[in-house]
Amino acid sequence: MNLKLAVIGQGYVGLPLALIASKSGFVVFGIDSDALKVSKLQRGVSPIEDVDSFQITEGIDSGSYFPTSDYSLINGCSVILICVPTPLNNVQAPDLSYLKAAATRIGEHLSPGSLVILESTVSPGTTRNFLVKTIEAASGLDQSEFNIAFSPERIDPLNRKWNIKNTPKIVSGLTENSTRMAAEFYAKFIDEVITVESLEIAETAKLLENSFRLVNISFINEIAIFCDELGIDITKVIQAAASKPYGFMPFYPGIGVGGHCIPVDPIYLSHKAGEIGASSNFIELAVKVNRDRPNYFVEKAQQKLGTLSQKKILVIGVAYKPNVSDTRETPVKALIDGLIDRGANVSWHDKLVKTWEGGQSAPLDDNYDLAIIATLHDSVDLSELGNTPIINTRNSV
Instruction: Let me know if 261 is a catalytic residue.
Output: yes
254-299 pLDDT, tens digit each: 999 998 889 999 999 999 999 999 999 999 999 999 999 999 999 9
The verdict on 186 and 291 lying in the same domain is no
Domain membership of residue 316 (yes or no) is yes
The verdict on 190 and 247 lying in the same domain is no
User: Going by C-beta distance under 8 Å and a sequence separation of 6 or more, which residues neighbour residue 38?
Assistant: 10, 32, 67, 68, 69
Look up the domain containing 283 and give its range. Answer: 236-392
The verdict on 186 and 41 lying in the same domain is yes
Q: What is the pLDDT of residue 157?
A: 85
The catalytic position among 77, 83, 227, 261 is: 261
Residues facing residue 371 across a β-bridge: 314, 390
106-163 pLDDT, tens digit each: 999 999 999 999 999 999 999 999 999 999 999 999 999 999 999 999 998 888 899 9
The verdict on 167 and 58 lying in the same domain is yes
Domain membership of residue 227 (yes or no) is no
Domains of the chain: total: 2
The verdict on 111 and 253 lying in the same domain is no
Task: Kindly state the average pLDDT of the residues 240-264.
Answer: 94
Q: What is the pLDDT of residue 199?
A: 98
The verdict on 254 and 340 lying in the same domain is yes
Q: Cα angle vertex 92, ends 263, 107, to 5°?
A: 90
Please identify, among 148, 182, 197, the residue that sits at the C-terminal boundary of a domain: 197
